Structure 1
Amino acid sequence: MKFILSTLVLPLLAAAAPTPNEEAKTNPPFTVMSIRSGSPIHFLTMTASGTHFYLGGKTSSYCPSEEGLVCPPGKETVLADNGNVMDAEVAGGQQVYVGPAGALRYTEAHSASMPQGSTVGGMHYDKEKPYSYLTFKGRGTNGLMACPTKDHKHWQVFAALEDAKVPTGNVKDCLGFEAMAITYKGKNPPVWQYE
């Protein structure tokens, strides 16, 4: 009887377990828009440039000029795997991390190299109705902040750390924000690699 029961039940349990494709559907690739009402960063899109993230600005990407290679558009910054990797075609991928100074960063293409003291795997895709959010949970904090660059033309994204080494030198210049995760519906992946 035990043999017959296990023969019937185990295949049913296996069929009920989520497949990798189902998990991908629950946490799809996404873009990020900042939410901070009444501030200059409200509704800005998060972009990737120079291995850092910014609110506003343009995504910096690259695609090799190889014969027969069809390059993706390369204009949007899209995250995957709960926000822990960049959504790019490049072999080996590009990992998202928080650097030792607190800046939200990503690795260069073809490299897993990051500064000593970096935090890997702290990004979280939190599902809430009706919206989903990206947040950083680690190093004694929970959240993200945007800090003005020295020229005050851009806002660089950091983990919300009191001791972050921000561009102006004063963490009080930074604004905490909600990072709304918006499901990406364009060509996937959207870039060959982020620069």
Structure 2
Amino acid sequence: MFAKVFTAATLLTAASAGCVRPSSTSSAAPSGPTGIPANGKFGIMALRSASPIHFASTSAEGSHLYLNAPETGAVCTGDNGGSAVFYLKDGGLYLYTTDGAPAQQMWVDRSGMGQGITGYSTGGQGVPRNGETTGFAIDSNNSLSFNGVGFLACPGAPNGGWSIWVDAGISQPGGHEGCLGFSARAVEESSPFPCEYSQQ
């Protein structure tokens, strides 16, 4: 899977050369047809030129998302190369899990306390008090956004990875320094393996 993501990343190099933090004023609705089919499965690749997270894949561990995290603890039916696999449904972003397993859905907390923190809940686990679960969309460039805004990655996460936050207008969410805005590019996975991702 990583090889497939890297190949896609190579093809996108020219288009992403001027990658900057997505505008917070853009529309959450797709501006045109997306390359990801309805109910299609995809990985999320970070695009931020000349940075440690450029072309980094997204993994899920301990109820949160990370870039460049070498270990995930996910139990999968095959090898996804350590990358998490997602799908969209009714504005919600879900992890692709095994049949019969509890759903694992992404949430975002943009409140003053949450500052844009992201995570995922499993089954009846619930979400934080100010957590939002709908508003995810993929545009015609296959870029993922949440209610029209992009994402930040902050260093210092477990295993040397970068934690993923929604851009809530705070440059150092959670007090983290060195955070970078990035474009979250959805990369279609034609034959992904379902997983059960670890919980906090």
Q: TM-score, normalised on structure 2?
A: 0.67
Q: Aligned partners of 1:162, 1:50: CA distance in 2, in Å? A: 25
The one of 178, 186, 189 aligned to 2:191: 186
Aligned residue in 1 for 2:12: none
Contact 2:68 2:160 in 1 (8 A): no
Aligned residue in 2 for 1:98: 108
Aligned residue in 1 for 2:137: 124
Q: Superposition RMSD on alpha carbons, in Å? A: 2.6
Aligned residue in 2 for 1:30: 42
Which residue identity does 1:55 align to in structure 2? L
| SS of equivalent residue, structure 1 residue 25 | coil
Q: Which has the higher contact order (CA 8 A, sep 6+)?
A: 2
Q: Aligned partners of 2:153, 2:186: CA distance in 1, in Å? A: 16
Identity %: 29
The one of 88, 105, 113 aligned to 2:97: 88
Following superposition, the deviation at residue 162 of structure 1 comes to 2.5
Q: Aligned partners of 1:112, 1:152: CA distance in 2, in Å? A: 25
| SS of equivalent residue, structure 2 residue 37 | helix
Structure 1 alignment gaps of length 5 or more? 1-23, 64-70
- For residues 31-180 of structure 1, the aligned pairs below 5 Å read 31-57=43-69, 58-62=71-75, 71-73=77-79, 75-81=82-88, 84-89=93-98, 90-99=100-109, 100=111, 101=114, 102-108=116-122, 110-128=123-141, 132-137=142-147, 142-149=149-156, 153-163=160-170, 166-167=173-174, 169-170=175-176, 173-180=178-185
Contact 2:171 2:179 in 1 (8 A): no
Q: Aligned partners of 1:56, 1:150: CA distance in 2, in Å? A: 10
* 1:45-94 C-alpha deviation (Å, 9 max, x unpaired): 0110111001111333136xxxxxxx444643011016611111253411
Contact 1:27 1:125 in 2 (8 A): no
1:194–1:165 CA distance, 2 compared to 1 (3 A):
farther
Q: How many residues align?
A: 154
Following superposition, the deviation at residue 120 of structure 1 comes to 1.3
Which residue identity does 1:88 align to in structure 2? T
Following superposition, the deviation at residue 154 of structure 1 comes to 1.6
Following superposition, the deviation at residue 164 of structure 1 comes to 7.5
Q: Aligned partners of 2:152, 2:197: CA distance in 1, in Å? A: 22
Contact 1:97 1:122 in 2 (8 A): no
1:87–1:150 CA distance, 2 compared to 1 (3 A):
closer
Aligned residue in 2 for 1:20: none
Q: TM-score, normalised on structure 1?
A: 0.68
Q: Aligned partners of 2:139, 2:75: CA distance in 1, in Å? A: 30
Structure whose alpha-carbon radius of gyration is higher: 1
Structure 2 alignment gaps of length 5 or more? 1-35
Q: Aligned partners of 1:86, 1:150: CA distance in 2, in Å? A: 20
Following superposition, the deviation at residue 152 of structure 1 comes to 9.0
